[in-house]
Structure 1
Amino acid sequence: MNESFSIYVWKECDPYNGTGGPSEGLVILFAADCIEFFFGLPSNIWLFWIILKRRRKVGSILLTDFFPLSLVLIHLSFYLMVPSLLLNHFLWHSGWLFVITALITSSILILKPLLFCLMCVESYLAVVRPVHFLRFRALKYRWRALAVASCLYVILSLFVFKRGSILLVYFIFLPVLAVDTFCSVAVLRVLKQTPPGDNPKAHGKEKESWQGNVGVKTPAGGVAGRGREPRKNGEMHSIKKKAFITIFAIQVVLTINYLPYIFAVILRRQFPAGVVKCQFNPLSLAASISVSYLQPLIYLYNLGQRHKNS
């Protein structure tokens, strides 16, 4: 985008190097656009409908649905631009249209990892710092966090617009991945700890009172029923396990989306500019927009765990 608006960015990539067709990287990028459009669009529309359905029941957006809803809106804005991107390449080759659609769809490259980071921090506070989580549980704090992320998105988008550099990935992906890794390790450490009441010595006494008795008080002061089994030592609490799976899945998605950008930045000086522009950059973009349908699956898993525990 540091070129003139009148020049279509992918013009020299199709035809590429006298082959008579587009570069392999550009073909993979367009294929990724189509795959995400046909698979990601229905799944994100479904998630959007589920969130709105839950909103109608309680009269407002649930706290747990705030960041997933923001991600859905980002993905839907990208899907709306996919037909324009493809038609522009095959029919119009308009530099202005490409810049406009690129600015709109850049949220999936910049704002999405920031929202993923906020989701990781939210899960970390809920498991490791529950007192702080209750203190900052109000919806106004989520709006403030979203406002800060949006401001960063605008600043970084303007930086790319002015400089035409992909070095911004270092300012987004590496800090976000570091925060997500920290949250994953912290939550996993909590999950491996023995929950209160999981004393192995107490389990032996409790097991005797559960065999063939109903209504017998246990050492913990509860009442044991027939068929109930004592909780195993170190068993993962379902809510904490859900938080860890969410953070781990986000880390996998971030790695798939943005690790190719790291390699592209590192290798860009070792290859000709045309190879970087027509091969590495399209491949990096294809990776950054992939597996957007995984977020609805994470939401479905969390919703199923919530119903199971209720």
Structure 2
Amino acid sequence: MNSTTPGASTNTTTPSTSPLDSAQIPLFSISVLFNLPTHSYIIWLIVKGTGGIASEYLNFNNSFCEICISMDFLIFILASYISSLFPLAMFLQGLTITGRPLFQCLMCVERYLAVVHPVTFLKYKPLRYRVIGCTVAWIITLGSCLICLIIFLFSTLTMQAYFFSVQFVLHLPIQLFCLVAVLRALKQSGPGERGRERDEKTHMKTRAFYLILITTVTMTITYVPSTITGIFTIVIDQPNSIVWIPSNLCFILAGFVQPVLYLHRAGKLSRLCTQ
């Protein structure tokens, strides 16, 4: 979706900055300025944390992927003036199209197993299963990066819209199913809960319920507008860069929610606000 600038949709050899570039550059700049330091701080917290990387391995990989996405946005900004950087930017676009939804999908599946199927979750909780899952995810993401580069070199924006729309359509139902199942499970009271224990569990469930609810809404805002715009581009078969601005805005702004939620859960958000 980042290739919707005129320079990215055509194989020009001279740098150019159009009004559309000027409209997208602030979005990419905000993402770089916010996501890059935030996710770097999250990785530092995970590495320095008492629980180690094992308990936050998926968050670690997701934050690393988000850092790479921020670098991709930075390269897109530079490519507006140095067109020779567009192939590299398009290669890294596979991280945005596949990496982010794939790692978020793994995190949703982990939450689903932890809440709905705790026995199965304990069975697959060891680090080796998470390493295997993340390794497969990185291999798929690398393949997506290669496909993005090939599409940029030999195809059109319509083919690119078809490529990522199919992936979003595949990932979003899995995420929504897991999140909705977790929401339903959290609304139910566990057996034998009485008095203070019930109140404490109710409070914890309420916090978890709103956390998952926010995540569900965020996933919808992130992927639905881009999917609809991609399908619209495929149907009319007339790529128009301007129609991608609203979906890009939703995709970038919704990406700020997950790091804020993690910092809030880690108890660092209030401290940063105070400082």
Q: TM-score, normalised by structure 1?
A: 0.70
Q: How does 1:88-167 map to 2 (within 5 A)?
A: 88-90=79-81, 92-94=82-84, 97-163=85-151, 164=155, 165-167=160-162
In the aligned structure 2, how far is the partner of 1:105 from the partner of 1:289?
13
- CA change 1:236–1:162 in 2 (3 A) is same
1:255 to 212, 220, 242: 220
Please state how far the C-alpha of 1:74 moved relative to its aligned partner. 1.3
Name structure 1 gaps, 5 residues minimum.
Answer: 2-6, 14-19, 204-228, 306-310
CA RMSD for the aligned pairs? Answer: 3.3
- CA change 1:184–1:85 in 2 (3 A) is closer
The superposition leaves residues 30-82 of structure 1 with CA deviations (integer Å, 9 ceiling, x where unpaired) of 1210111222222222212211211xx45x4132x111111211121232344
Amino acid aligned to 1:9: A
Q: Bigger relative contact order, structure 1 or 2, given CA contacts below 8 A and separation 6+?
A: 1
Q: How does 1:185-224 map to 2 (within 5 A)?
A: 185-198=180-193
| 8 Å contact from structure 1 (residues 114, 172) kept in 2 | no
Amino acid aligned to 1:122: E
In the aligned structure 1, how far is the partner of 2:210 from the partner of 2:133?
23
2:42 to 37, 44, 47: 47
- CA change 1:35–1:77 in 2 (3 A) is same
Please state how far the C-alpha of 1:256 moved relative to its aligned partner. 2.2
Name structure 2 gaps, 5 residues minimum.
Answer: 269-275
Q: Which residue of 2 aligns with 1:231?
A: 198
- Asked if 1:62 is matched to 2:54, the reply is yes
- Hey, which of these two has a bigger chunk of helix by percent? 2
In the aligned structure 1, how far is the partner of 2:242 from the partner of 2:263?
36
Amino acid aligned to 2:61: S
- The SS at the match of 1:167 is helix
> Number of matched residues?
255
| 8 Å contact from structure 1 (residues 71, 112) kept in 2 | yes
Structure label with greater radius of gyration: 1
| 8 Å contact from structure 1 (residues 188, 244) kept in 2 | yes
1:178 to 153, 157, 173: 173
Q: Which residue of 1 aligns with 2:18?
A: 22
The superposition leaves residues 145-198 of structure 1 with CA deviations (integer Å, 9 ceiling, x where unpaired) of 112222322333333333442222343222322122222222222222222224
- CA change 1:138–1:301 in 2 (3 A) is same
